[in-house]
Every structure is written in structure tokens, then in C-alpha cells.
Amino acid sequence: MRILLFSACLLAAGPAFAADDASACAEGITMIRDALALNPPEAAVPKLKKALRVAEREQKEGEFDECLDAVADARKVLGR
């Protein structure tokens, strides 16, 4: 019985988690664009462009967890 209650709670919370991920994804894409606009070191540019391309594609597909992975990759490149 507890398992059913727990499962129901997770299902109810699912849309809230998805909204948070969608928002974090959009913020991450903005962060990558801003970093590219600031002329980062030449070695970082291709990695940031790839992270941006992947994040934008995953955002369009609704795969926000994969978008956040690409944003995390960009943060590593930037040392954040």
C-alpha cells in the first residue's frame, strides 16, 4: 500500500520536476550564448558551440535532462 502511495506522489510531482528542468535548460542555453558572446579562449569555442547545439536540440525534443547534461559540459569548459 505504501508503494502505491509513493508511486502516486511521484507521478503527481513529475510535471513540477519537468518544469524545473525546462527552466534550468533555458537558463543554461542563455548562459552558453552569453559565454560565447564574451569571446572565450579559442580552445573553448568549439566545445561551447557543441554544448549549445546539443542543448538547443534536446530542448526542442523535450529531453531536458540531456539538455542539462550539455549545459554541465559547458560549465566544465568554463570552469564553473
pLDDT score of 71:
98
Looking at residues 34-53, what average pLDDT do you find?
Answer: 96
Contact 20, 64 (CB under 8 A): no
Mean pLDDT of the chain: 85
Contact 55, 70 (CB under 8 A): yes
What's this model's pTM, rounded to 2 decimal places? 0.76
pLDDT score of 78:
94
What distance in Å separates the CA atoms of residue 73 and residue 50, rounded to the nearest whole number?
A: 10
Supply 29's cell numbers. 542555453
What distance in Å separates the CA atoms of residue 66 and residue 80, rounded to the nearest whole number?
A: 19
Residue among 77, 72, 58, 80 nearest 28 (CA): 72
pLDDT score of 19:
66
